[in-house]
Amino acid sequence: MKIQVYGTNCAPCKVMLANTLEAARQLGLQDSVQHMSRIQDMLAAGISGTPALAIDGEIKVMGKALDVPAIVALLRAP
């Protein structure tokens, strides 16, 4: 599984990254998380608002930070 958190150093982006890392840790997927902070990477992925979360290349959320249980649910979804 490939988990990408898109965001800069804004407060919501930091929250999203921390929550994603915690959710991934709970599921044993912490090595799958990548922090994507380059604007070029965001544009290439079609990200128009941060923070954003992509799982296996599919954007799951954009423009808001999720809490840990919501991220766990996304990671468990088929």
Domain ranges of the chain: 3-76
Active site residue 10: yes
Average pLDDT, the chain: 96
Two tokens, residue 64? 């808001």
Confidence at residue 71, expressed as pLDDT on a 0 to 100 scale: 98
Asked if pLDDT for residue 78 goes beyond 90, the answer is no
Asked if pLDDT for residue 64 goes beyond 90, the answer is yes
> How confident is the model over 3-61, as pLDDT tens digits?
999 999 899 999 999 999 999 999 999 899 999 999 999 999 999 999 999 999 999 99
Of 13, 42, 47, 66, which one is the catalytic site residue? 13
Of 10, 18, 39, 73, which one is the catalytic site residue? 10
Distance between CA atoms of residues 6 and 3, nearest Å: 10
Active site residue 13: yes
| CATH topology classification for 3-76 | Glutaredoxin (3.40.30)
Q: Model confidence at 65, in pLDDT bands (50, 70, 90)? A: very high
Task: Find tokens 């128009």 and name the residue.
Answer: 48
Confidence at residue 30, expressed as pLDDT on a 0 to 100 scale: 86
